[in-house]
């Protein structure tokens, strides 16, 4: 998995209303103007276009695996009445800053950044390594996630519990995540690795449709639980 930081800070507040082709703003609005009327999830299929991500031994590339997983998960969530926003629906380039901007504009209750790797086994969950910070009206773009870190860790906990209950191997971690660090919502990066047996041999490859379907189903179940938690007073 490659984290590519190409975020740039603008010098004036007028940059807050950037276009698709514009530079990212220097500040992100931390307090939304109005609450979202529905439970919303953002799915960010990593890489795309001329940025393939990881290249795997079977010839697959990460960008194709993440998009396939995003499509599966989007359909499962929509069938359960959950509104979904995706950062890409095709093999297209999407800048890291634009991905974060889409998530922030959606005012989502959960943002999942989807990745894939041949290294390790099972599911890797990563939250931002930023230190938690109090919420303010405006926050620096590259550290916009700081006031949400505690909620992001709680989201990772729900995902971890549901995946373990389903029998999946899970690795938890925290790291610098250029896209996630600029998101103003509970956000977790999910990296799908092959399923391996006790001898270390692959029992399900990351591009195995049945493996992807099972992971997507488990993630959907976790988000349903998260929706219940988010609505509790």
Strands (E), the chain: 27-29, 40-45, 83-86, 110-116, 123-128, 138-140, 170-175, 187-192, 195-196, 202-204
Which residues 6+ apart lie within 8 Å of 39 measured at CB? 82, 83, 109, 227, 230, 231
| Distance (Å) of CA 138 to CA 8, 20, 109, 132 | 17, 21, 19, 15
Q: Residue 18 pLDDT > 80, yes or no?
A: no
Please give the CATH number for the structural domain made up of 36-231.
3.40.630.40
User: Is residue 135 within 8 Å of 31, Cβ to Cβ?
Assistant: yes
**What phi and psi, each to the nearest 5 degrees, are found at residue 31?**
-105, 115
Average pLDDT value over all residues in the chain: 84
15 vs 60, higher pLDDT: 60
| DSSP tag of 178 | T
Report the range of poorest mean pLDDT among 33-42, 76-85, 98-107, 153-162.
33-42
Q: Strand, coil or helix: what is 90?
A: coil
pLDDT tens string 101-154: 999 999 999 999 999 999 999 999 999 999 999 877 667 779 999 999 999 999
Q: At residue 164, does pLDDT exceed 80?
A: yes
**Residue 195 in 3-state DSSP?**
strand
* Least trusted range by pLDDT, from 3-7, 32-36, 72-76, 96-100: 3-7
Q: Is 131 exposed, middle or buried (0-12, 13-18, 19+ CB in 10 A)?
A: exposed
Residue 205 has pLDDT above 50, yes or no: yes
Burial letters 7-41, b for 16+ CB under 10 A, else e: beebeeeebbeeeeeeebbbbbbbeeeeeeeebbb
Does the pLDDT of residue 192 top 80, yes or no? yes
Query: Could you tell me the pLDDT band of residue 182, with boundaries at 50, 70 and 90?
Result: very high
Q: Containing H/E element for 181?
A: none
In contact, 196 and 121? CB cutoff 8 Å = yes
Count of Cβ atoms closer than 10 Å to residue 115 Cβ: 25
pTM of the model: 0.83
The predicted model gives 178-198 an average pLDDT of 95
The β-bridge relationship of strands 83-86 and 40-45 is parallel
- Read off the pLDDT of residues 40-55 as tens digits, 9 standing for 90 and up: 999 999 999 999 999 9
How big is the CA angle at 198 (ends 196 and 200), to the nearest 5 degrees? Answer: 50
Could you tell me the pLDDT band of residue 62, with boundaries at 50, 70 and 90?
A: very high
Choose between 229 and 198: higher pLDDT. Answer: 198
Is the Cβ–Cβ distance between 163 and 170 less than 8 Å?
Answer: yes
């Amino acid at each position: 998995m490659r984290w590519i930081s190409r975020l740039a800070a603008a010098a004036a507040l007028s940059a807050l209303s950037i276009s698709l082709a514009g530079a990212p703003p220097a500040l992100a609005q931390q307090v939304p103007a109005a609450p979202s009327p529905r439970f919303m999830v953002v799915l960010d299929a990593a890489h795309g276009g001329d940025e393939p991500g990881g290249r795997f031994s079977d010839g697959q590339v990460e960008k194709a695996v993440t998009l396939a997983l995003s499509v599966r998960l989007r359909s499962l969530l929509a069938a359960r009445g959950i509104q979904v926003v995706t950062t890409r629906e095709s093999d297209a380039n999407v800048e890291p800053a634009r991905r974060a901007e889409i998530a922030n504009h959606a005012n989502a209750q959960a943002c999942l950044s989807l990745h894939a790797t041949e290294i390790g086994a099972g599911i890797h969950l990563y939250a931002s390594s930023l230190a938690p910070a109090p919420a303010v009206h405006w926050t620096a773009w590259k550290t916009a996630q700081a006031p949400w870190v505690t909620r992001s860790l709680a989201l990772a906990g729900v995902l971890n519990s549901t995946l373990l209950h389903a029998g999946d191997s899970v690795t938890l971690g925290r790291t610098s995540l250029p896209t996630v660090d600029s998101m103003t919502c509970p956000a977790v990066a999910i990296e799908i690795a092959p399923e391996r047996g006790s001898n270390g041999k692959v029992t399900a490859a990351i591009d195995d449709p049945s493996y992807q379907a099972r992971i997507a189903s488990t993630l959907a179940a976790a988000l349903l639980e998260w929706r219940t938690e988010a609505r509790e007073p």
